[in-house]
């Protein structure tokens, strides 16, 4: 699942408009730990697991509006 999401942070603190709090922010570390916990919980799952019945059929039934 990590390969689908990429290696970036949950929140881009250093992007085009850097956060003015980035040098003293305590949220950044907490978000990184939460992101790692998220990936750890999804680590054992595969793409196949995610589209197993009934999810795959439901996904195929979704239409663009």
| pLDDT tens sequence across 22-41 | 788 888 889 889 999 998 99
Q: Is the pTM of this model over 0.85?
A: no
| DSSP letter (8 states) at residue 53 | T
* DSSP H helices in the chain: 2-5, 27-42, 47-50, 55-61
What's the average model confidence in pLDDT over 30-53?
Answer: 90
Q: What pLDDT score was predicted for residue 37?
A: 93
């Amino acid at each position: 699942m990590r390969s689908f999401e990429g290696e970036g942070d949950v929140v881009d603190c250093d992007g085009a408009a850097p956060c003015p709090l980035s040098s003293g922010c305590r949220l950044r570390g907490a978000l990184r730990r939460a992101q790692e916990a998220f990936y750890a919980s999804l680590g054992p799952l595969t793409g196949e697991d995610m589209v197993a019945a009934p999810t795959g059929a439901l996904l195929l039934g979704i239409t663009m509006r």
